[in-house]
Structure 1
Amino acid sequence: MLQTPSQTVGPYFAYGLSPEQYLYNFKSLVGNLMVNPIDNPESITIIGKVLDGENQPIPDAMIELWQIDENNQRFGRFGTGTDPESRFIFHTLKPESVAGQAPYLTVIIFMRGQLIHSYTRIYFSDETTLNEQDEVLNAVPSERRHTLIAQKNGSVYEFNIYMQGENETVFFEI
């Protein structure tokens, strides 16, 4: 039985959290965030890293994404431990706007050294008008909003999570 790297709030067992990522021959019992981009041409890909205060990738973080809109309720996990570049990679459908809010994904970060996980959001750079109107995004100081916005590069959205430092991501208390 393989484990993900031991963590302050772990160890997490890969077969129970993200078995497909760790090459177990069964599907996860939870989560339906991931979609196959070949089967669904409307899918998007979100790629990023979790970085420490020295801008070094954290190789044993686990990221959860939650998406709830009128047509979709999706959830998925990805550990940075299996990617050679310590990235997280999600294939999903872009969330829809709900009640005039900008589309976003809720992000939960679990990692070593944290007794309590961190919460943030991913907004999308190609939703300029809705981003300008979003109450939560606009409650964030303007000089820090960019830390919540994934940048579109072709069909991929790039979003890095900075746990500390000059580019520290805005985190929310829940």
Structure 2
Amino acid sequence: MKQRSLGLCILALVTLAITSAAHADTFNFSFSGPFFSGSGTFTATERGASDIYDITGVTGTVKSWAGSSQIISLEGLGDNKLTYPGIVPGFLFPTNYFDAKGVSFGLADGDDVNLNDVGGVEKATMGAPKGLTIPEFETIDISKSSTVPEPSSLALFGTGIFGIAGALRLKLRFG
């Protein structure tokens, strides 16, 4: 009985270690400028403990002079990096969250947007399918969302509670 309980505890610890490594963080973002603005949520996974995140998903809305459009896809997979809590390049410049490649995403109306850091200043570029590109300097804000437990972590916690309840039941039953 003791060996079985020890085996279950080891299995639970190994499962917890594996599921916590796959934790995805979410970040709320917003940007605004004279020609277009937007807001939404990034889903990202941290590279070790480096404060650099690989962005794996994006949702939100972008508003321009032509109306508003939903963000439907992340473009340039593998190039979309986020530095959080960001780099402060100097007193006069805002916090930088991206490198020169930035993060690119597609809109439902066919346009695409790229948020990036060029020359120490955050910048956004909106490109239309007709070849028109509108660059502008932006105010970009990013905040980390509160963490929500993964379903697998909750399931592991629940099975642990059932295991403890079962062990207590057996202990009380057989003394």
Calculate the TM-score normalised by the size of structure 1: 0.25
Relative to its length, the structure with more strand (as a share) is: 2
Name the larger-Rg structure.
2
Relative to its length, the structure with more helix (as a share) is: 2
